[in-house]
Chain A
Amino acid sequence: MKRESLFPLAMNLSRRDFLCRSCNGIGAMALAGMLAEDLRADTALLNPLAPKPQHLTRKAKHCIFMFMAGGASQIDTFDYKPSLKKYANQRLPLLSGLSGEIEGFLKAPHRAIPSAWDFKQYGQSGRYISTLFPHIGECADDLAFVFGVKVDNNNHGPATMHVNTGSPLQGSASVGSWISYGLGSPNQNLPAYVVIQDPRGAPVNGAAVWGNGFLPAAYQGTLFRSSGTPILDLDPPEALTRERQRKEFDMIKWLNERHNSERPGASDLEARINAYELAFRMQKDAPEVVDLSGETEQTKKLYGLDDPTTEGFGRQCLLARRLVEKGVRYTLLVHGVEISKSSWDDHGNFKERMPQHAAEVDRPVAALLKDLKQRGLLEDTLVVWASEMGRTPFINDLKSDKPGRDHNQYGLVVWLAGGDVKGGSTAGETDEFGIKALGEPIPLRDVHATILNLLGLSDERLTYLHAGRFRKLTDIGGRVLTEVIA
């Protein structure tokens, strides 16, 4: 591993600078010992999550990524296609620029199904949004939409990997890992990258969705549970009081320092001593995050904690706000469960299911946006809403009385809010059927480059040497969608 690549962002900082900038405990503690020996300090090893400067100045310091697992239909949510009405129940023409499964779908018998719900214009921007999302509609002027995003695979597993890691193949680092690697974490007492999955279960690919891939394990997402003990193994064994634990930790520390003193200059041994202190503080801070007793009834209601439909995702959203307040860098919220009705994968009966999915997230998402804004945190926080793919504007099962929509890797819609996002703007546009982009599709890497950019990172500079080449989230590099940036 090349030192430069492990720690590309702090190279201009002197070691003393670096340690002082991260004086939140770990730096200060290490300072004395480190300056004592004139070593080239491997600061990344000492604390891989130490905060690092942005490449370019951007307001957003945090990111909340809301992932709708299963492939949310763009046609029934945010991509308004009134033109589809005139094709209702007809076959759509063959379109150029498609390949693979979608092409096959279009060649096979099918019939077009326009959205079953009305769209309404919202806000100053007059953005059309499905009436399934009245609450999100109220936030329309904060949102920037990207239409016609192309994903490199038409099935859940690889598409979910692509949206979350930049590659449809397993083994790459997730977006949150890249951002934690690039920016470190302002709060050392909590993980930099937190994942809250749907309380009903895990998404397709499981933990690979928030994996660190080829990046060091320090950058992997930490699974948080929404109540009780949020992090695995956070609580010491029952019999152990905090006081006694402290005593045992002191004993471990004493033994480690003796061991260390005979092995001068070993920054990894020192880092491990610090990790114990960090863990000790995390035990105190993390449960506070999930303890909602300090929230007002009004806030809880805003997020929908009073309604069984919205309670699940409402709690996830409220926690996301609390994590932002605590300084957590990246929060991934997953809505939807692998292969079940609790996923956006509506191959059948979309008329009943879509309202259900929409109702589960509409109020909580809007609450999060409004709450962040009201607290002045939306400035600092990039909020992203995405699924792994869009859906077809037609059905394949001609006989079904409860039709649904098939997968469509060409039609993904993504929206962004907060930070330097230009509310009310759009990038890309789909054809009159909502199948694919007019003109060149927007590749997913452009969306990733934009996310990084809005957090002050350049996708070209955020690299990691792995298997013979400098890896990037955007692989061959993406175009920043300046249309959606203020």
Chain B
Amino acid sequence: MRILAPISVGLLFLIGPALAQGGFEDKVHPILQNRCLPCHDARTRTSGFSVAILDSVLAGGARHGRAVKNGQPSESPLIQILRGRIKPQMPLGQALAETEIVAIEEWIRTLKPESATTPAAAKGGYWAFLKPTPQAPPSVKNSRWVRNDIDAFILNRLEANSLTPPPEADRKVLVRRLYFDLIGLPPTPQEVRAFVESNSPKAYEELVERLLGDKRYGERWGRHWLDLARYADTNGYEGDPEFAHAWRYRDYVIDAFNNDKPYDEFIKEQIAGDELAPVMSAGPLPPPEPEKVVALTFLRLAPFTEPRGEESRDLLLSEMTSTVSSVFLGLTVGCAKCHDHKYDMVPTRDFYRMKAFFATVQIEPARVGDVQQLGGPLRAEFYRPGEKEWADKARAGFEEELRTIEKDFAVFQKPLLEKLTARRRREKPTGDASAQAEVTLKDLKKEISDEGDNSAGFQKKEPVFSQVEKQQFQKFEGQVLRLKKKIERLEPAAMSLRHSDGPPYGPSVPTTHVLIRGEYDRPGEPVEPGFLSAITGNSDPAVIEIDRYKRHPTRGRRLALAKWIASSENPLTARVMVNRLWQHHFGRGIVDTPSDFGKNGSPPTHPELLDWLATRFVEGKWSVKAMHRLILASNTYRQSSQNIDAKAMQSDPDNRLLWRFNRLRLEGEVIRDSVLAVSGRLNPERGGPPVFPPLPKGLDEAQKVQGINTWETSNGGDGRKRSVYVFQRRSLNLPLLETFDASVFNASCDRRRTSITALQPLSMYNGEFANLEARHFAEVLQKVGSNLDAQIQQGFWLALARSPTAAELKRLSAFLDSVGSKEEALIGLCRILLNTNEFVYVD
């Protein structure tokens, strides 16, 4: 690496050897700076062209593309324009001196047509950086097994390894598999029977179609996406403040899956939803659609550390860069923040070129009361059908309730204020002016909080208020606080962001610097936004489309990135997404490290299949549901999870070749939802602000801060909505979910673990939730009459989607008979069923 002379920004300018050629800094740059500013500085960028730095000069403007053809001055648009061969000649009306042009030509001539400008493909590059190639399905011996092309790819590898797939799973297994896979809930006994007994030759396809059309599909598959999006309703850290409007993004994601929003649109909305609408006039910007404002919440869901100026800004943008890369591109560029990535050919410089796409992100200033300074929301009207009416009504109700409570609270406060005033007067010497001052509500609050702070030793004086008064006061405070939260959640707002105001109201595009060793206060070389060079094969800056009126120079950066990602030309995007779909259907991706397609990740087990799927995904206009249909229609998906084959167990114990279906442990959310479904108490209501199921008693005590509840327990049906709607609090999670690895994520999570711990039986057998629902489950069983065998039958059908065997029936009825109380016996049966392996595993 060579160090060049300091440039105008006064910083040492470190650039790679490929570019550090030919005296750009001492000869060429001064000419361009002298003659082309101010129309082409980093801010003005007329026609998108800027001479601010080497990168931007090479890249050229919006009209003619890359300005410099290495080694070929006469072919370079830059020279053609300077010489007037492309009109208008530049600089306008005052052409450069011949010596100046020659100097520039000289420099261009010295630039080697370097390999960096060759597409990765031509270099025999890494597979994931080459575009998927269309694949013909391979030939197989047992062609009868092939239901669609997927099977040919799978069977081909099995045959090559002398393995045979098992027969198709029986219908009882398939129906349960499909329900859990597609909607995350068990089928009802009627649904099982209908499918098992159906005579339709298309029974399977019809079931798939019905489940894909079921709104619960979005709740199930949206949850997978929320893991990637590190979704939470709170920030974590000190005070764990709430993201009051994040829930709207959760509903957006669920809708996107239900409506089969094309994946390329889904990407663009989450990265640049605010920049999608074209600018049609020089007037004010078109307001972005509410849905697109909500979609951008994706970029803001990371835990935010209390503002420390530049440091927090760097953390924020770096996190966006890493998360966008890992979620959409399956690349872990985060490591490159501090050092060149050993595995992925992502140099540090590329990390900052990616980060530069986010340089104009602006978050609304924090509102009053936002102690941790998370920043404010943006306005986003309710747009889902019926949502506005519902939200307005609910909000009005809460506001009314708040007014009543505040009135009662004021009445309650009055004698307390008087009491405190009297005490203060008594304590202070007469003549002390402050003794005469009225005691305010603030003083009252402080006094009560101080007295409530019962650390021994702090409490030295006689308390002013009784325990009852203090508790009542804090109860009021809690009520007011919770109602205000409820009202805030129902504001027509989203935790969104936008591009910053450019000139004249705000500053122009800030320069992004490489940060040396990733330290925010050690800026190095400045960079322009650019795509990953390992993929594009060059380090050219990205062309940012700025509106034709040049009114919004800060707009369009994220859109440029989003378009590049959501492009059929991008070698990673489609592969990464089809792999994620495959992963959730089969429990494991073709690439086993779904957010890491780099060299340190796992190589694909079936690379041709991956390419074939990716190609089909793009051809199918990025329809996710079309991919589900395709995968579910294969024999590979329909095969049994039972295949007792000693040879296969020996040669492929991890089942990487799919010589059987993988038995899957259900996720924490699915387990909780299934318990509620079986007990008949699942509240099917969809969407809306988060809900707060009751906490187990022990935890309910632990979460209190000085006796005040921090969890708004939802009474009634709200607490029994599906787990995807449960308040996702980073400092506290429902223990049942937590023990089954369903955490509230702080960083993008690409794979759930399936731990097995002793705390799981404690939750599922002893826990209040499980026992309450077992009781309701037992009530459901009583409805089939008093015949014990019939009750056992129904219990099996509800929980396990099958009949008990004769042996099971015999042993269970003997056991139940031995318990004194019939009612207790039945509850015991339900508890037992919910605790079986079969209940939490899918074949």
| Interface residues of A, Cβ cutoff 8 Å to B | 1-2, 37-40, 45, 48, 99-101, 153-158, 161, 168-171, 191, 197, 200-202, 204-208, 211, 216-218, 220, 222-223, 225, 229, 231-237, 239, 244-245, 247-249, 251-252, 254-256, 258-260, 262-266, 268-269, 271-273, 275-276, 278-280, 282-283, 308-309, 337-342, 356, 359-360, 467-469
Of residues 715 through 771 on chain B, the ones whose CB sits less than 8 Å from some CB of chain A are 730-733, 735, 738-741, 743, 745-748, 750-751, 753-763, 765-768, 771
- 12 A-B contacts (beta carbon < 8 Å): A39-B653, A48-B755, A153-B308, A171-B303, A207-B731, A233-B696, A248-B765, A251-B811, A254-B811, A356-B458, A468-B595, A469-B600
Known A-B contacts A206-B732, A217-B757, A340-B706; A268 and B747 likewise in contact (beta carbons under 8 Å): no
The answer, among B704, B761, B763, for a CB contact under 8 Å with A276, is: B761
The reply to whether B458 and A341 contact each other, CB–CB distance below 8 Å, is yes
Task: Pick the 7 closest A-B CB pairs, nearest first.
Answer: A206-B731, A157-B237, A468-B332, A171-B746, A279-B761, A170-B746, A217-B755
B60 to chain A, nearest CB (A): 34
A273-B837 in contact given A229-B698, A251-B812, A266-B663 (Cβ < 8 Å)? yes
Task: Tell me if B237 and A237 are in contact (CB < 8 A).
Answer: no
How far, in whole Å, are A252 and B835 apart by their CA atoms in the complex? Answer: 7
Chain B contacts for A202, CB-based, 8 A: 702-703, 705, 731
- Contact partners of B335 in chain A: CB under 8 A: 468-469
- A218 B757 Cβ-Cβ under 8 A: yes
Q: Which residues of chain A are within 8 angstroms of B303 by Cβ–Cβ distance?
A: 169-171
- Residues of A contacting B824 in the complex (Cβ-Cβ under 8 angstroms): 239
Residue-wise interface mask of B (308-347) relative to A, using a CB-CB cutoff of 8 A (1 in contact, 0 not): 1001000100000000001000001011000000011000
Interface residue B665 (Cβ < 8 Å from any Cβ of A): yes
Instruction: Give the complex CA separation of A201 and B240 in angstroms.
Output: 14
In the bound complex, do residue B705 and residue A337 qualify as a contact, i.e. CB atoms below 8 Å apart?
A: yes
A295 to chain B, nearest CB (A): 22
In angstroms, how far is the closest chain B Cβ from the Cβ of A125? 31
- CB of A298 to closest CB in B, whole Å: 23
Given contacts A248-B832, A279-B762, contact A260 B837 (CB under 8 A): yes
Cα separation A29 to B383 with both chains bound (whole Å):
58
Given the contacts A171-B746, A202-B731, A260-B837, A222 and B759 also touching, CB distance less than 8 Å? yes
Partner of B758, one of A158, A204, A264, A282: A282
Which chain A residue shows the least CB distance to B332? A468
A170 to B755, CA, bound (A): 21
Q: Does B841 contact A (CB under 8 A)?
A: yes
Inter-chain contact B732/A263, CB cutoff 8 Å: no
Chain B: which residue is nearest A38 at the CB level?
A: B650
Contact residues of B between 792 and 835, Cβ < 8 Å to A: 807-808, 811-812, 815, 818-819, 824, 828, 831-832, 835
Checking A99, A157, A200 against B238 with a beta-carbon cut-off of 8 angstroms, the contacting residue is: A157
B236 / chain A contacts, CB cutoff of 8 Å? 157, 170, 205, 208
A356 lies within 8 A of B455 (CB): yes
Whole-angstrom distance between the alpha carbons of A217 and B739 in the complex? 7
Instruction: Please determine whether A278 and B758 come into contact, CB atoms closer than 8 angstroms.
Output: yes
CB distance from B442 to the nearest CB of A (A): 17
B382 to chain A, nearest CB (A): 31
Cβ contacts under 8 Å, A216 to chain B: 741, 753, 755
- Contact A342:B811 (CB < 8 A) given known A171-B745, A218-B755, A282-B762: no
Q: How far is the CB of B838 from chain A (nearest CB, A)?
A: 5
State whether the Cβ of B601 lies closer than 8 Å to any Cβ in chain A. yes
Query: Hey, which chain B residues are within 8 Å of A155, CB to CB?
Result: 238, 305-306, 308
Q: Are B453 and A237 in contact (CB under 8 A)?
A: no
Give min CB distance, B735 to chain A, whole Å: 6
- Nearest residue (CB) in A for B653 is A40
List, in ascending order, chain A residues with CB within 8 A of B703's CB. 202
Q: Which B residues lie within 8 Å of A168 (CB)? A: 305
Residues of B in contact with A (beta carbons under 8 Å apart): 236-240, 303, 305-306, 308, 311, 315, 326, 332, 334-335, 343-344, 450, 453-458, 521, 592-593, 595-596, 598, 600-602, 641-642, 644, 646, 649-650, 653, 663, 665, 696, 698-699, 702-706, 730-733, 735, 738-741, 743, 745-748, 750-751, 753-763, 765-768, 771, 807-808, 811-812, 815, 818-819, 824, 828, 831-832, 835-838, 840-841, 843
The number of residue pairs between A and B whose CB atoms lie closer than 8 Å in the complex comes to 250
Kindly state the separation between the CA atoms of A395 and B733 in the bound complex, as whole angstroms.
Answer: 38
A469 touches B812 (CB 8 A): no
Are A157 and B739 closer than 8 Å at their CB atoms? no
When distances are taken between beta carbons in the complex, the residues of chain B under 8 Å from A342 are 453, 455
Most chain A CB inside 10 Å of its own CB: which residue of B649, B812, B819 = B649
Structural contact, B837 and A272, CB atoms closer than 8 A: yes
User: Which A residues are in CB contact (< 8 Å) with B455?
Assistant: 200, 341-342, 356, 360
> Quick check: B306 and A157 within 8 Å, CB to CB?
yes
State the Cβ distance, A82 to closest chain B Cβ, in Å: 28
- CB of B596 within 8 A of CB of A468, answer yes
- Tell me the minimal C-beta distance from A110 to chain B in angstroms: 19
What are the residues of chain B within 8 A of A279 when measuring CB–CB? Answer: 758-762, 765
Residues of A within 8 A of B601 (CB): 468
Interfacial chain B residues near A245, Cβ < 8 Å:
765
Known: A169-B747, A201-B706, A273-B837. 7 other contacts (CB 8 A): A201-B705, A206-B240, A233-B762, A233-B768, A251-B815, A255-B808, A309-B456
Would A467 and B334 count as touching, CB distance under 8 A? yes
Residues of B within 8 A of A309 (CB): 456-457
Within the assembled complex, what's the spacing in Å between the Cα atoms of A119 and B305?
A: 37
Query: Is A217 a contact of B741 with CB atoms below 8 Å?
Result: yes
- The chain A residue with its CB closest to the CB of B458 is A341
Determine the chain A residues whose CB is within 8 A of the CB of B650 once the complex forms.
38
| Chain A residues within 8 Å of B832, by CB | 248, 251-252, 255
CA distance A156 to B650 in the complex (A): 52
Q: Which residues of A sit under 8 angstroms from B754, Cβ to Cβ?
A: 268
B759 cross-chain contacts in A, Cβ below 8 A? 191, 222, 231-233, 279
Nearest Cβ in chain A — how far from B704, in angstroms?
7
When distances are taken between beta carbons in the complex, the residues of chain A under 8 Å from B457 are 309, 356, 359
B596 with A467: CB separation less than 8 A: yes
A235 touches B766 (CB 8 A): yes
Max chain B CB contacts within 10 Å: which of A170, A220, A239, A272? A170
Question: Given A247-B815, A278-B758, are A207 and B771 also a contact pair (CB < 8 Å)?
Answer: no
Cα–Cα distance between A206 and B733 once the two chains are bound (Å): 10
Instruction: Give the residue name and chain of the B residue nearest to A310 (CB).
Output: B456
Shortest C-beta distance, A171 to chain B (Å), equals 3
C-alpha gap A258/B796 in the complex (Å): 15
Asked if residues B771 and A100 are in contact (CB atoms below 8 Å), the reply is no
Most chain A CB inside 10 Å of its own CB: which residue of B596, B761, B767: B761
Contacting pair B738 A217 (CB below 8 A)? yes
User: Whole-angstrom distance between the alpha carbons of A255 and B804 in the complex?
Assistant: 10
A338–B705 CB distance below 8 A: yes
Distance of A206 Cα from B807 Cα, bound (Å): 48
What B residues does A273 contact at CB under 8 A?
837
| The one of B311, B595, B641, B746 that contacts A169, using a Cβ cutoff of 8 Å | B746
Cβ-defined partner of A468 (8 Å) among B593, B699, B819? B593
Chain A residues, CB < 8 A from B750: 467
Residue of B nearest to A215 (CB): B753
Measured CA separation A338–B592 after assembly (Å): 40
Q: Would A272 and B756 count as touching, CB distance under 8 A?
A: yes
Taking CB atoms, residues of chain A closer than 8 Å to B343 are 468
Separation of A40 and B644 alpha carbons in the complex (Å)? 15
Assembly CA distance A13 to B357 (angstroms): 50
Contacting pair B836 A256 (CB below 8 A): yes
Chain A minimum-CB-distance residue to B699? A232
**Which chain B residues border A157 with CB–CB below 8 Å?**
236-238, 305-306
Residue of B702, B756, B760 with highest tally of chain A CB at under 10 A: B756
Give CA–CA (A155, B306) in the complex, Å: 8
A170 touches B815 (CB 8 A): no
**Contacts A39-B649, A217-B757, A262-B642: A232 and B745 contacting too (C-beta < 8 A)?**
no
* Closest Cβ neighbor of B371 among chain A residues: A339
Q: Closest Cβ of chain B: how far from A101's Cβ, in Å?
A: 7
**With A38-B650, A223-B702, A468-B332 in contact, is A231–B762 under 8 Å at CB?**
yes
